């Protein structure tokens, strides 16, 4: 099989991350229409996103381990089926509990099956430009706000929220199931996997090592910083009197800036070191989150969103690069999935805490102040990262 197919795998990974994350995060667009139509509380509906991140993280660890053992195609195919099913069932939910089970549990379970397995897969395909390849796979996350969220807003302009969400669920099936069938294993990957099958001891050694602990804690604080601003900024803009389509465009601009950030910071990480670039990106992210406190006009939202999106999007590929530098290809899916599981706890804080802050104080000021403080904490933790070694840590034969 031609190794150039590795770039096809990159394109498939970008598509999958775009559709999966875009569909999941489109709840930010549906938040107000759902609460107005059903009478459910904003905090209650936001809790579906909290469940998404909690379950996505735990499931990502399991999906990553399964992809290490059985290959990527069955993992992403199962995820594609579950993602569409979760969205379709959520659109039919008759109660808030049913909605939480469908959107929070099924969508979260499926969303963890794409990014980590596809990142691990493309690094086995491509011996050069690995950082760029990983960045491009994650760039699909940056494209997501420019695709699914505007589509959701357009559908909501002429349909109720149930019809709009049903349409997105059917679209997920139409796009992801065929794409999953084109996923291939890299030549020689099966032989390497059989020869280097790891024992639980080796994995457990990696998961208690100092680099993994710092990686996971930094990832957690990073996600806790941007989760609330990402999810609630559309609602904040609406509170400031900005029209719905324009408010969604703020989110889309964040995604566009994040697309550039993923590529630029990924390349800079290759040149100057992932740790240095990660620290710089985390600092910019913290400043961007805090700056939302001072904006209330569309052009101000655009300016802050561009900087904030560039930073939070740009730092994300660096965690995968560091995971591979320390632990190698053989257990990368497991290790990165474990780190993502910890980070998902941080992502889970933003939607529910932001909804509680709004319900309690009638605004989002304390959300952005808290995000700024946590962002500074992420910077401090990242300084503890030891320099990556040339060989995978503690896993050499």
Long-range CB contacts for residues 365-370, cutoff 8 Å, separation at least 24: 365/293, 367/228, 367/229, 367/232, 368/228, 368/229, 368/289, 368/290, 368/291, 368/292, 368/293, 369/290, 369/293, 370/228
Least confident span in 237-241, 281-285, 314-318, 389-393: 389-393
State percent of the chain over pLDDT 90.
Answer: 39
Task: Give dist(CA 63, CA 364) in Å, integer.
Answer: 35
Phi, psi values for residue 242, rounded to 5°: -85, 135
Task: Give dist(CA 267, CA 171) in Å, integer.
Answer: 33
Task: Collect all residues with Cβ–Cβ distance below 8 Å to 191 and sequence separation of at least 6.
Answer: none
pLDDT tens track for 44-97: 888 888 788 778 878 888 888 888 788 899 999 999 999 999 999 999 999 999
Q: What is the mean pLDDT of residues 333-357?
A: 83
Least confident span in 108-112, 134-138, 178-182: 134-138
Q: Token pair of 145, please?
A: 């706000």
Assess contact for 296 and 240: CB atoms under 8 A: yes
pLDDT tens track for 263-311: 888 788 877 878 889 999 999 999 999 999 999 899 999 999 999 999 9
Assess contact for 73 and 52: CB atoms under 8 A: no
The pLDDT value given to residue 389 = 55
pLDDT tens track for 377-390: 999 999 988 765 54
Assess contact for 91 and 42: CB atoms under 8 A: no
State the number of CA atoms in the 13 A half-sphere of 323 facing the CB: 29
pLDDT band at 360 (very low <50, low <70, confident <90, very high): confident
Q: Token pair of 217, please?
A: 């804690």
Task: Give dist(CA 364, CA 361) in Å, integer.
Answer: 8
Task: Give dist(CA 2, CA 105) in Å, integer.
Answer: 39
Task: Give dist(CA 131, CA 133) in Å, integer.
Answer: 5
Of residues 139 and 101, which shows the higher confidence score? 101
Assess contact for 196 and 330: CB atoms under 8 A: yes
Assess contact for 228 and 353: CB atoms under 8 A: yes
Task: Collect all residues with Cβ–Cβ distance below 8 Å to 156 and sequence separation of at least 6.
Answer: 29, 30, 33, 164, 244
The pLDDT value given to residue 189 = 57
Buried b (16+ CB within 10 A) or exposed e, 214-232: bbbbbbbbbbbbbbbbbbb
Domains and CATH numbers, the chain: 5-180+207-382 (1.20.1250.20)
Range with the largest mean pLDDT of 53-67, 220-234, 249-263? 220-234
pLDDT band at 115 (very low <50, low <70, confident <90, very high): confident
The single residue listed with the structure tokens 């030891």 is: 386
Task: Give dist(CA 324, CA 199) in Å, integer.
Answer: 18
Nearest to 27 by CA among 49, 55, 60: 49
Task: Give dist(CA 165, CA 26) in Å, integer.
Answer: 9
Assess contact for 276 and 373: CB atoms under 8 A: no
For residue 152, pLDDT over 70 is answered with: yes
Q: Token pair of 49, please?
A: 């996103």
The pLDDT value given to residue 367 = 92
- pTM of model > 0.85: no
Task: Give dist(CA 142, CA 150) in Å, integer.
Answer: 13
Task: Work out the mean pLDDT of the chain and round it to a whole number.
Answer: 85
For residue 394, pLDDT over 80 is answered with: no
Q: Is 161 left (phi over 0), alpha (psi -120 to 50) or beta?
A: alpha
pLDDT band at 182 (very low <50, low <70, confident <90, very high): very high
The pLDDT value given to residue 29 = 87
Percent of the chain that is helix, strand, coil (3-state, to 5): 85, 0, 15
For residue 200, pLDDT over 70 is answered with: no
């Amino acid at each position: 099989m031609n190794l150039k197919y590795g770039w096809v795998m990159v394109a498939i990974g970008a598509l999958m991350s775009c559709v999966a994350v875009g569909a999941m995060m489109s709840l930010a667009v549906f938040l107000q229409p759902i609460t107005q139509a059903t009478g459910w509380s904003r905090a209650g509906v936001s809790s579906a996103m909290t469940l998404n991140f909690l379950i996505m993280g735990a499931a990502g660890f399991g999906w990553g381990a399964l992809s290490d053992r059985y290959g990527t195609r069955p993992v992403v195919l199962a995820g594609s089926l579950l993602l569409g099913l979760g969205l379709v069932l959520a659109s039919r939910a008759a109660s808030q509990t049913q909605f939480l089970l469908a959107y929070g549990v099924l969508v979260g379970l499926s969303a963890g099956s794409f990014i980590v397995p596809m990142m691990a897969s493309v690094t086995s395909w491509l011996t050069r430009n690995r950082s760029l390849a990983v960045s491009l796979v994650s760039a699909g996350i940056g494209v997501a706000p420019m695709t699914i969220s505007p589509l959701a807003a357009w559908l909501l302009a002429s349909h109720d929220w149930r019809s709009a969400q049903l349409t997105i669920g059917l679209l997920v099936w139409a796009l992801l199931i065929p794409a999953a069938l084109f996923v291939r294993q890299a030549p020689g990957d099966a032989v390497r996997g059989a020869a280097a099958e790891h024992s639980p001891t080796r994995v457990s050694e990696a998961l208690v090592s100092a680099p993994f602990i710092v990686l996971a804690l930094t990832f957690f604080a990073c996600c806790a910083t941007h989760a609330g601003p990402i999810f609630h900024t559309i609602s904040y803009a609406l509170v400031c009197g900005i029209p719905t389509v324009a408010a969604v465009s703020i989110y889309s601009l964040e995604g566009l800036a994040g697309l550039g950030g993923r590529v630029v910071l990924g390349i800079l990480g290759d040149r100057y070191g992932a740790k240095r670039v990660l620290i710089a990106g985390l600092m910019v992210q913290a400043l961007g989150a805090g700056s939302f406190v001072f904006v209330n006009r569309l052009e101000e939202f655009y300016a802050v969103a561009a900087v904030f999106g560039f930073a939070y999007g740009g730092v994300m590929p660096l965690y995968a690069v560091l995971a591979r530098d320390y632990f190698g290809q053989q257990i990368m899916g497991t290790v990165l999935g474990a780190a993502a599981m910890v980070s998902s706890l941080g992502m889970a804080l933003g939607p529910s805490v932001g909804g509680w802050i709004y319900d309690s104080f009638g605004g989002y000021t304390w959300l952005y102040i808290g995000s700024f403080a946590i962002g500074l904490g992420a910077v401090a933790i990242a300084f503890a990262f030891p320099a990556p070694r040339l060989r995978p840590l503690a896993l050499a034969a």
